[in-house]
Amino acid sequence: MPCARVHAPTPRNLVRLARVLVRGGLVAVPSETVYGLAADALNAAACKKIFRAKGRPAHDPLIVHVRSLASAAEVAVLSPAAKKLAAAFWPGPLTLVLPKRACVPQVVTAGLPSVAVRMPAHPVFRALLRRCGRPLAAPSANPFGYVSPTTATHVLAGLGARIAHILDGGPCKIGVESTILDLRDPARPALLRPGAVTRVQLEKTLGVRVRAPAKKAARLPSSSVLPPVSRSPACADAQLAPGLLARHYAPRTPLTLHRKFSVARAVTAPREAWLFFRRPTLKKSAARPKNIFWLTARGDAAEAGRNLFACLRALDAGGWHRLHAERAPARAALAPALNDRLARAAAKGG
Ligand code: AMP
Ligand code: MG
């Protein structure tokens, strides 16, 4: 039974919810990427509650959200490259993995000597950060492994029985999680998770090549991602990016990913749902088959991003025997992020 309260982002509610956070409680918060489940990043006991509420394994570190560059510098060591990227993309959907400062509890970083930091752009999240006066650790506000939430209603459906407070900031404007860049060695930046900030944009800003994410998704926390020197035996299982798990962001209904498919094919399998990237052309005279859906009417990838997780959730609740989804066309800037999430949603096992 849901017991969480959904709060409008009024100044009074922001004050109340900031108090909940400062006292070590949890609040689900809106961001421009997806909704997050926030706790005081410098309070280990509070952060442990995040793992419990989500059913998130302790080896999967959290992103720390900050309101300012000064606050980022309190939790992480900012190299000139990090400052350059912050100037170009913060506030915004870019997370930097950097050497951590001692004040960040081990539970937040899963024992790693690095911390993931981001300055969010959502005005409600920023207002809450200002009111709290401390950094907030926040992974996506969903049960671990399930489709990320992009509305307060999604959070209520997934975590309503496990948390007390949800701050409603409207539907997320981007709808896919932040780009994660490993910048522990500024000379060798590596993309860990594609997002709305693209690899090309990062390379232009840094003036060096950015290594692409590993082609093959890991089934287990990947030891190939972390250089051995940065791992202590205690954190041998720590994950560098959650999106590195082969199966993540996944609906319960089995999902198959295709390069392309046709309406003719979809109508041969009426008990399966077919999610086109772009609205397909239908014969004027024909009724729209009931098992056909799309992410964007005119092929706008940003619109597809906003709709992706809500579509997967709606289809998952639709009683379909199987879901089919089409890959986003490679030319779209958001395509690597969309196709990464779709591939992981379609992957079998974990
Ligand atoms: P999520 O909260 O699901 O959006 O995922 C955030 C991701 O950021 C984590 O799952 C990690 O993969 C990555 N991350 C967080 N902290 C660290 C860290 N200290 N070192 C490397 N990657 C991290
Ligand atoms: Mg997540």
Whether residue 79 is contained in a domain is answered as: yes
**CA 230 to ligand 2 centroid distance, Å:** 23
Residue 120 · residue 65 · CB < 8 Å: yes
Q: Residue 80 falls within a domain, yes or no?
A: yes
195 & 304 share domain: no
Q: What is the mean pLDDT of the chain?
A: 91
Distance 97 CA to ligand 1 centre (A): 8
d(CA 62, CA 178): 13
Backbone phi, then psi, for 218, in 5-degree steps? -80, 145
pLDDT band at 147 (very low <50, low <70, confident <90, very high): very high
Pair (76, 168) in one structural domain: yes
The pLDDT confidence band at residue 249, using thresholds 50, 70 and 90, is confident
The pLDDT value recorded for residue 199 is 97
- Assess whether pLDDT exceeds 70 at residue 226: no
Q: Please choose from 29, 56, 60, 108 the residue to mutate so as to test ligand 1's pocket, defined by most ligand atoms within 8 A of CB.
A: 60
Going by DSSP bridges, is the β-strand pair 190-193/179-182 parallel, antiparallel, or unpaired? antiparallel
Residue nearest to atom 19 of ligand 1 (CA): 115
Judge if 178 and 312 occupy the same domain.
no
Specify if 228 maps to a domain. no
Question: Domain range spanning residue 324?
Answer: 255-346
Find out whether 140 and 149 touch, Cβ atoms under 8 Å.
Answer: yes
270 and 195, same structural domain?
A: no
- Give Cβ neighbours of residue 145 (< 8 Å, ≥ 6 apart): 245, 247, 248, 249, 250, 350
The verdict on the CB of residue 109 being under 6 Å from ligand 1 is yes
Do 46 and 162 share a domain, yes or no? yes
**pLDDT digits 0-9 by tens, 326-335:** 999 999 999 9
The finding on whether 175 has its CB within 6 A of some atom of ligand 1 is: no
Q: Which atom of ligand 1 is nearest to the CA of 242?
A: 10
Q: Which atom of ligand 1 is nearest to the CA of 95?
A: 8
Residue 187 amino acid letter: A
Percent of the chain with pLDDT over 90: 85
Q: Is 273 in the pocket of ligand 1 (CB under 6 A)?
A: no
Q: How confident is the model at residue 255 (pLDDT cuts 50, 70, 90)?
A: very high
Q: Confidence band (pLDDT; 50, 70, 90) for 284?
A: confident
Band of pLDDT at residue 216, cut at 50, 70 and 90: low
Does 239 sit in the ligand 1 pocket, CB within 6 Å?
Answer: yes
DSSP track, 207-274: SS--BPPPSSPBSSS-TTTS-GGG--GGGTT--S-GGGBSS-S--SS-EEEES---HHHHHT-TTEEE
Question: Could you tell me the distance, in angstroms and rounded to a whole number, from the CA of residue 139 to the centre of ligand 2?
Answer: 6
Distance CA 172, CA 123 (A): 12
Q: Is the dihedral of CA 28, 55, 324, 244 positive or negative?
A: positive
Domain with residue 103: its CATH number is: 3.90.870.10
Rounded to 5°, the CA angle 334-337-341 comes to 140
What's the pLDDT score for residue 240? 57
**Reported pTM:** 0.91
Which residues 6+ apart lie within 8 Å of 333 measured at CB?
196, 198, 301
Structural domain count, the chain: 2
- Residue 144 CA to ligand 2 center (angstroms) comes to 7
Dist. CA 344 → ligand 2 center (Å): 12
The rounded Å distance from CA 191 to ligand 1 centre is 12
